[in-house]
Each structure stands twice: as structure tokens, then as C-alpha cells.
Amino acid sequence: MRTSPGIHTKSKRFVSYFMLFFILLAFVTALITALIDPLQFYHRPSWYTPLLSEQERYQNPGLAKNYEYDNIIIGTSMTENFLPSQVDASLGGTTLKLSMEGSTVDEHYKIAKLALETGKVQQVLWGLDYFSLKLATAEEEEDFPDYLYDGKLWTDYKYWFNSSVYKQFFRSIKSTLSGQTKQDLETLYNWNDKVVFGKQYVAESYFKACDKEIDYGTNEESLVQVKVYFNTYIRSLLEEYPDVQFYFYYPPYSVMRQVAWYSSNPVRFNNQLVMRQWMFEQFEQYPNVKLYDFQTTSEWTFNLDLYKDLSHHNGEVNTWIAEAIGEDSSKYRVTSSNIEAFNTLLEEQAESAVIDSNGNVYRSSVQVNGEPLAFTTRLVQGNEELWLPAKEIGTALNASIDWDATTKTVSLTSGGNNVTMTIGNTEALVNGQTLAMDAAPLLAGGKVLVPVAFVADHLGWNVSVEQEGEWLRYLLNS
């Protein structure tokens, strides 16, 4: 049976109306989104006050496009505790913070480029973390809202038809009606008052990191690739915007962050040293760039009460950084005459710093017959005694080492003397006699840590311990 022409025409007309309705609905939805614009991507709404979103990757484009400023802050969570007013006081002008937690160099480039293209930026304060010199993972890249950064109107549909946009709008309206809405750019993204700082938390983080860093070391990007990222996402901006002043700085992680890398992830630590110098050599070529190094500032980095974990310091340190850069302090400004000294000092600090379970930091050194002993994982336990990997002690003292994984027992033997210790047990067996120790051996970073003075003494070495201020010096002589 054939369909009558009338029915066929009505079907076509219905499809046409449906398509027209769908197009009109999409157009009206896009128009409404552009009108209410809760992320202020197109404009700053005048009839209500949008709440500022803590979703930095989504909120930053609107801020960069539609707010007034002269300076921008770029970087990871290490830069989130800057107060724009304090940066204003140090650098002059009006500062906008465009930080992004856990961000990578390609993400830094995207937000910096967006802001720079507005022509407003006169100065850039950029916290340059070595570990951010990589690209976002495939999963992170998929979650990143590129449509807010690419400048293409036809990709904005992801914003127009996003339900979260309307949720943000209704939250703003509710807050406006209650009289609670305010746009606080001063503390936006700032977490200083939301966490607790203290050396005990750094100590906890350090002992966990000793185990985790071993795995991270197998995934380090090559220096060749890291340099490519630098050239693509940082150098290109320096060349494209020669009239903009860039202030880069190496953030001051706690010294125990450096110790964890040095001990358990030497690939990252050594790559960091190479890149610190190489990046300065690149920056040195541009008159619109200044570089500052705060990573060896021991009065900060050794004071673990300033940190909430191995890396993240409180807002007071951000203030000190802004003031030092504003003063162009020679103590922190990197030059061709001091870059090697900065690197040498950082390596010395990473080699010598040691922590106890309460978060107190010491400096330590061990000499065996006048020769310095290079050691990796270490800590202070008991009566301020230095504990080192049994394997490293055994090698230095020419002792044979036996490890029983089943009983978690380590035994060192030299010159007819034997010291046997068990993980978690404060009693040691010395030449068949049970002796008490101030603390028990433990596993850290996959290594068995034992007391260096106790072991050396009972293996027949002459042991001298010198304590001066924060320094613990061990002299072992045969």
C-alpha cells in the first residue's frame, strides 16, 4: 500500500518544525548562558554578582579576559597562597592570580597566553616547579576545558550546554538574594587558612615519600624532552612578549623534599640540578626576564613548621618571596656568578639534612678513616643518633651483610665481631650477647636503617660523635 502524498508532506513538515524548534532551543539556551555567564567568560554580569568558582581551570579564563589587572601570577599550588595586594605592594600595579593546582607547563602556557593576548599584562610572576615541566596526562588533558582557552566561538557549545553552568548560576542567585555574595579575588584559591602546618606533618610525609619516590624514579621524563617543553611553552612567550617583564622563581620546598628525591629518586634530583642551571642560561638571553632561587634558603626550608607536607609552605613564605622579588634581592637573584653555588649548596643540603620522628631537622656527616661517607636514606632516632642503611654502613666498614627477609633480621660481621638486629626490635645480639638500643631498626625507602655509631662501635671501630648546633658529625676510625 502506498503512502498518500498528504501524509508524506505532513511527515516532512513535522521533521522540519522539529529541527527548527531544536535549533531555536539551542540558540536560546546558548543566548541565556551567554547572558547569565556565571564564569564571566564573555562579560561581567551587571544585574547579579556571580560567585567565583574554585575550579581554577574553568574560572581563570573569564578572570583573564574581563577583569582589570597589570600583573598575573602563574604556577601550581605553590603559588596559590599569594595575596594579590602584597604582590601589588612589591611589584606595583594590580595583580590577578591565575594559579592552577597540580598544573603542568602546557596548562601554564594556555592561561598565560590567554592573559597576555589581552594586552593588559605588564608583569608575570611565575613559580617554576621542576616537576611541572611535563605535559598533562591523557586523562588530565581530556578533563581540561580547552574550549575556554582556544578563542574559537564554535567550540563554546561545551559551555553553553553545560548543566554545571546553571548550577553555578543558581548558587550565585541564592547567595545574591541572601546578601552573602562577594567577589574576593584577594583570597581566591588560597588554602592557607584551610590546612594545618607543622613539622610533625612534614615528618609523616617524609617517611611515606621514602617508599613512594622509588617508583616515581622509573617514570622521569628525559632531559631532552623536558627542554623541549620549556622551549615550547615558556621560551615562546618570552620571545612573543618582549615588553612584558617576567619574574620566575624556584619555589622553596622543605629541605626534606629535596632529601627524599636525593635518597630515593636520584634521577629526578640530578635532573632538577641540571635544569636549574640550563633554564637560567636560557633566561639569561632575555632582558625581560629575572630569575630568583629560594630553594636553598635554609631559614625557611629547614623550618618545617612553615610547611603542611614536604613541599607546600604557608602564605607567610609567599609574602617573603614577593618582598624579595620586589626588592630584587641579590641574596636570591640568580646570576652567572652564583648559579653553580646555588646548585652546590642545594646538593650539600640534600646530602646532609636528616629528620627525626618529631620533625626536627639536623645536619649530619660521617667520615670513615677521614673519608666522607656518602649515604642515602637516613633519620635520627633515640638519643639523637644517626641511623643509616645497613648495606651502606657494611660496605664502608668492610663488613659482610646478611639479610633474612622471613625474620626481617640483618646481620653485620667484621673481624670476628657480629651485630644482629631485627626490624621493630630494640634488642640487638652482639657477639652472642643481648644489648638494648635506644630505638628499633626499621625499613624506609626499601632499606634497613640501623644506628651507625652502635654498629661501628661493636664491630671494633673507634667512634667519635661531635654535636655542634644542628650538626651531628660521626668520625669512625679503624
**For the segment 84-128, what is each residue's pLDDT rounded down to a tens digit?**
999 999 999 999 999 999 999 999 999 999 999 999 999 999 999
- Residue where the block lists cell 646538593: 347
Which of 97, 110, 109 lies closest to 71 in space, CA to CA? 97
Over residues 363-387, the pLDDT tens digits come to: 999 999 999 988 888 889 888 899 9
In this prediction the pTM is 0.90
Asked whether this chain's domains 56-152+183-351 and 360-477 adopt the same fold, the reply is: no
Measured distance CA(465)–CA(355) in Å, rounded: 17
Evaluate if residue 359 carries a pLDDT over 70. Answer: yes
At the second CATH level, the architecture of 56-152+183-351 is: 3-Layer(aba) Sandwich (3.40)
What was the pLDDT predicted at 1?
45
Q: Could you tell me the residue ranges of all domains in the chain?
A: 56-152+183-351, 360-477
Over residues 33-60, the pLDDT tens digits come to: 888 999 999 999 888 888 899 999 999 9
**176: how many CB neighbours lie within 10 A of its CB?**
15
- The grid coordinates listed for 295 are 630553594
What was the pLDDT predicted at 216?
55
CATH number, domain 360-477, options 3.30.457.10, 3.40.640.10, 3.40.50.300, 3.40.47.10: 3.30.457.10
What was the pLDDT predicted at 4?
55
Which of 87, 112, 83, 118 lies closest to 98 in space, CA to CA? 112
Mean confidence (pLDDT) of the chain: 91
CA atoms within 13 A on the CB side of 90: 24
